[in-house]
């Protein structure tokens, strides 16, 4: 396979050539090198005429296997094929696993959980994602998500915040110019620098297109012991990932929300279909046979009497004025307490002078 990988990579740079076509080429010709040098008529015997014509058209101009491999090396992108020792074992359990993976960084050695959800989460969704992700990462699970804006980003950032390991699976190339979404390019770099991984089955320079994301989602599921869905509409990528998880014999967990919220319809539908309803991290970790230990920051209570009074009110979001009205304390006292509580990680600023207990 060593001398064959440059031809495998070259085939994989051709748009529309997926795992099924790659496996057909290898099976029919015996090697990717032989397939690369096959005649047009030979390719048409092995594949559909349309697929063969696509390969022929892309090969003709300037597709050079040696130069393509050199580009990978220069970009410090690892090329992992399905017979490589580095290929993640959980992916071999799913139907039609990717034939190749492009990766920067390192996959977690521990088992993983996928955390997915809407690109437009509510405050409730963001907080829920933070709480569950933190607990899972502290329990030793790697966190897998898709680098998308929204819940995915919260999951990655929360994991990085506690120095856990996270994996971002892309529906585009992982090179700097085509990472999608572009606004998370720096996040991708931080994931790699922190000891996690960014990976894709799509070759560098492959743009993100709609058809790639369902395929990407099967990898998110395949890498994980289970999938946790936090806020998703009825028709969403998060639900596609959950359905892949069912096909892959993975656990599916869903967090309930308001019956009036469109972003709760997805999790509620999953629960109706048999997903495990979870209302706190312990529910999920118990199902996976892992112990739940709250972090020191989350479990200890503030010792200062004023801090204790204020944090009691912040089980729900409250504005500064509402805190003052309920507590009867002076503004300067409240300001000092809020600063202490926020600095020590007991509360968060939700914006517009509104706070809530973490």
Is 278 part of any domain?
Answer: yes
Whether residue 156 sits in one domain with residue 23: no
Q: Which of 73, 91, 112 is the last residue of a domain?
A: 73
Is 93 part of any domain?
Answer: no
Res 225: pLDDT:
96
Contact 131, 285 (CB under 8 A): no
Whether residue 109 sits in one domain with residue 46: no
pTM for the model stands at 0.83
Is 36 part of any domain?
Answer: yes
Whether residue 342 sits in one domain with residue 306: yes
Whether residue 235 sits in one domain with residue 165: yes
In CATH, what number is assigned to the domain containing residue 326?
Answer: 1.10.10.10
Whether residue 141 sits in one domain with residue 13: no
Res 349: pLDDT:
84
Res 307: pLDDT:
86
Pick from 276, 285, 286: nearest CA to 255: 276
Q: d(Cα 320, Cα 299) in Å, to the nearest integer?
A: 25
CA atoms within 13 A on the CB side of 90: 21
Tokens of 5: 């990988």
What's the total number of domains in the chain?
A: 3
Non-local CB neighbours of 321 within 8 Å, separated by 6+ positions:
353
In CATH, what number is assigned to the domain containing residue 13?
Answer: 1.10.150.20
Instruction: Look at phi and psi of residue 76 and say left if phi exceeds 0, alpha if psi is from -120 to 50, else beta.
Output: left
Is 148 part of any domain?
Answer: yes
Planar angle of CA 348, 354, 358, nearest 5 degrees: 25
Q: List, for the chain, all residue ranges whose pLDDT scores fall below the cut of 50.
A: 296-299
Whether residue 307 sits in one domain with residue 276: no
Tokens of 125: 């969704």
Whether residue 64 sits in one domain with residue 182: no
Whether residue 167 sits in one domain with residue 226: yes
Contact 347, 318 (CB under 8 A): no
Is 79 part of any domain?
Answer: no
Res 80: pLDDT:
96
Res 296: pLDDT:
44
Tokens 């994989």 sit on residue: 12
Whether residue 142 sits in one domain with residue 44: no
Whether residue 280 sits in one domain with residue 247: yes
Res 339: pLDDT:
81
Res 297: pLDDT:
47
Q: Residue 49 is part of which domain span?
A: 1-73
Pick from 148, 314, 356, 139: nearest CA to 240: 148
């Amino acid at each position: 396979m060593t001398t064959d990988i440059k031809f495998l990579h070259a085939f994989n740079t051709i748009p529309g050539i997926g795992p099924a076509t790659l496996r057909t080429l290898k099976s029919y010709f015996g090697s990717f090198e032989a397939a690369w040098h096959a005649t047009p008529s030979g390719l048409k015997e092995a594949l559909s005429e349309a697929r063969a014509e696509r390969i022929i058209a892309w090969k003709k101009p300037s597709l050079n296997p040696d130069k393509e491999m050199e580009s990978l090396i220069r970009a410090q992108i690892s090329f992992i094929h399905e017979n490589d020792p580095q290929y993640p074992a959980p992916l071999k359990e799913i139907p039609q696993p990717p034939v190749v993976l492009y990766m920067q960084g390192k996959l977690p050695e521990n088992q993983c959980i996928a955390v997915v959800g809407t690109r437009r989460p509510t405050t409730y969704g963001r907080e829920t994602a933070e709480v569950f992700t933190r607990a899972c990462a502290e329990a030793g699970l790697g966190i897998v998500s898709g680098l998308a804006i929204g819940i995915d980003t919260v999951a990655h950032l929360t994991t990085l915040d506690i120095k856990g390991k996270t994996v971002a699976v892309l529906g585009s190339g992982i090179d700097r110019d085509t990472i999608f979404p572009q606004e998370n390019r720096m996040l991708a770099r931080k994931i790699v620098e922190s000891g996690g991984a960014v990976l894709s089955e799509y070759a560098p320079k492959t743009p993100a297109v709609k058809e790639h994301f369902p395929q990407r989602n099967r990898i998110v599921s395949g890498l994980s012991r289970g999938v946790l869905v936090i806020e998703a509409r009825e028709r969403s990528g998060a639900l596609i990932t959950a359905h892949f998880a069912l096909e892959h014999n993975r656990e599916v967990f869903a967090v309930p929300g308001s019956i009036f919220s469109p972003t709760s319809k997805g999790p509620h539908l999953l629960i109706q279909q048999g997903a495990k309803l979870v209302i706190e991290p312990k529910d999920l970790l118990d199902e996976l046979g892992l112990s739940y230990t709250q972090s020191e920051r989350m479990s200890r209570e503030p010792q200062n009497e004023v801090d204790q009074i204020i944090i009691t009110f912040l089980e729900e979001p409250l504005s500064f004025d509402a805190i003052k009205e309920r507590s009867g304390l002076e503004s300067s006292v409240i300001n000092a307490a809020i600063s202490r509580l926020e600095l020590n990680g007991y509360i968060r600023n939700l914006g517009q002078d509104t706070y809530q207990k973490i």
